[in-house]
């Protein structure tokens, strides 16, 4: 490949040219929504297969340690690969997103044996993972979770309910947060587990969303036995592992889509003969600038976590910024389309509608805007905590 950036860029470019489809070959207005369950399975498996091909080519986990299936390369190599990948149609989708969330947590908190067992299969997508964190009574206030885990010999016996679990009906494994000590304060007494989704006692029920897809699920766990060897980090100290996952989730969500929304917005402005409109130009400039800033912030966070360092930017900041960006892109798309954005099956109409109602998934998933603002105020600005329970109060005694 060569040791310098130009040689590596040429190598990656050659591989993509030989194996992938340049953008523009398909409809730029296509919305990645599968309303048919069969299509959803096919899409998930296509993403799995593509990640496997990237791994075989040495282009997945480029900066991860080679002893755990990675490339042992430098962070700049990963950045170059992502820049080039944006120019091609194929992608890893949710499979790549879950890899970006759980992989760094395993690297930072997992035992050497867990790294050897899971990381190579994670990178190759031989094993795919979903996230079982949120609950009906513990969404943005995740540390209030109540899914119970009772220690029984070499196992934990887990009972509870999770919700808004992306691709849980497709994934092989899950990373799971449980309440292992109800007498400890709520941020302690939580354990982080890996669980095979084929384990008896796990039931997955898809949830149909506003866009008619069933990407999210609710998951019921009834006396599910999970080996203690599947604990990541320490028993009762899973919140530290969860924060690593949440930081990566926020950075990934904030990294934005493969193709920036601003490209389609510029096309809509031209079609509406409003490219010269000062207000439209000003809003487009703001959106483009914010897209670049969010991308840079996400890269800084992910590089730090890959090095095992604390993120230089609070991940909640990039997530909050991305949620605000989605509001602006949806509003501008609807303004430029006018009445044509309200009805019909034209691809531009469906894309504009997806930008409009997509703001809700971005502003809720990975932590609501309101909770993120509270966290930023307390952690970054040093503002007083929200009134409520005492930090050392046992979880069992907190009103719910």
Determine the pLDDT at residue 258. Answer: 57
Highest mean pLDDT among 205-209, 258-262, 326-330, 357-361: 326-330
* pLDDT higher at 357 or 149: 149
**Which whole number is the average pLDDT over 117-131?**
97
Local structure of 374: helix, strand or coil: helix
What is the four-CA torsion angle of 317, 323, 329, 330, rounded to 10 degrees? -170
Catalytic residue among 81, 135, 218, 249: 249
Highest mean pLDDT among 74-78, 163-167, 358-362, 394-398: 163-167
131 pLDDT above the threshold of 90: yes
Q: Please, what sign has the CA dihedral across residues 176, 180, 182, 187? A: negative
pLDDT tens for 52-67 read: 999 999 999 998 999 9
b/e burial code for range 6-36 (CB count within 10 A of at least 16 → b):
eebbebbeebbeeebeeeeeeeebebebbee
Would you say 300 and 276 are in contact if contact means Cβ atoms under 8 Å apart? Answer: no
In angstroms, the CA 153 to CA 258 distance is: 46
Confidence of residue 253 (pLDDT cuts 50, 70, 90): low
The reply to whether 249 belongs to the active site is yes
Q: Please, what sign has the CA dihedral across residues 389, 392, 395, 397? A: negative
Question: What would you measure as the largest C-alpha separation in the chain, in angstroms?
Answer: 71
Question: How many CA atoms lie less than 13 Å away from 187 in the CB half-sphere?
Answer: 8
Arithmetic mean of pLDDT over the chain: 89
Determine the pLDDT at residue 368. Answer: 82
Determine the pLDDT at residue 308. Answer: 66
Alpha helix stretches (DSSP H) within 226-314: 238-254, 261-271, 278-306
Confidence of residue 23 (pLDDT cuts 50, 70, 90): confident
Determine the pLDDT at residue 255. Answer: 55
Proportion of the chain above pLDDT 70, given as a percent: 94
Determine the pLDDT at residue 158. Answer: 98
> pTM value?
0.80
Confidence of residue 306 (pLDDT cuts 50, 70, 90): low
Q: How far is CA 211 from the centre of its chain?
A: 19
Confidence of residue 369 (pLDDT cuts 50, 70, 90): confident
């Amino acid at each position: 490949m060569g040791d310098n950036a130009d040689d590596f860029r040429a190598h990656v470019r050659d591989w993509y040219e030989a194996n992938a489809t340049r953008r523009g070959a398909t409809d730029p207005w296509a919305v990645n929504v599968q309303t048919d369950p069969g299509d959803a399975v096919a899409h998930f498996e296509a993403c799995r297969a593509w990640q496997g091909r990237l791994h075989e080519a040495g282009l997945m986990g480029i900066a991860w340690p080679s002893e755990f299936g990675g490339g042992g390369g430098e962070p700049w190599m990963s950045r170059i690969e992502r820049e080039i990948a944006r120019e091609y149609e194929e992608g890893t989708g949710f499979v790549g997103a879950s890899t970006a969330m759980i992989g760094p947590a395993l690297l930072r908190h997992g035992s050497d044996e867990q790294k050897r067992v899971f990381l190579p299969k994670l990178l190759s997508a031989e094993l795919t993972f979903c996230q079982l964190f949120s609950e009906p009574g513990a969404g943005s206030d995740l540390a209030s979770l109540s899914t119970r885990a009772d220690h029984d010999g070499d196992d934990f016996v887990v009972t509870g309910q999770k919700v808004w679990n992306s691709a849980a009906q497709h994934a092989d494994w899950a990373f799971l947060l449980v309440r292992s000590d109800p007498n400890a304060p709520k941020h302690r007494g939580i354990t982080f587990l890996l669980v095979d989704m084929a384990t008896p006692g796990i039931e997955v029920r898809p949830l149909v969303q506003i866009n008619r897809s069933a990407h999210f699920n609710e998951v019921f766990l009834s006396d599910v036995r999970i080996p203690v060897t599947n604990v990541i980090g320490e028993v009762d100290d899973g919140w530290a592992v969860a924060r690593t996952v949440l930081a990566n989730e926020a950075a990934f969500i904030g990294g934005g889509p493969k193709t920036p929304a601003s490209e389609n917005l510029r096309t809509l402005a031209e079609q509406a003969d409003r490219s010269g409109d000062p207000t439209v130009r000003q809003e487009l400039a703001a959106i483009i600038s914010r897209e670049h800033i969010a991308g840079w912030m996400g890269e800084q966070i992910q590089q730090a976590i890959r090095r095992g360092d604390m993120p230089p930017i609070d991940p909640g900041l990039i997530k909050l910024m991305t949620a605000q960006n989605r509001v602006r892109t949806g509003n501008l798309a609807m303004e430029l389309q006018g009445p044509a954005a309200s009805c019909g099956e034209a691809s531009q109409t469906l894309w504009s509608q997806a930008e409009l109602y997509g703001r809700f998934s971005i502003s809720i998933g990975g932590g609501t805007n309101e909770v993120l603002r509270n966290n930023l105020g307390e952690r970054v600005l040093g503002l007083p905590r929200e009134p409520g329970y005492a930090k050392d109060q046992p979880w069992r005694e907190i009103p719910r």
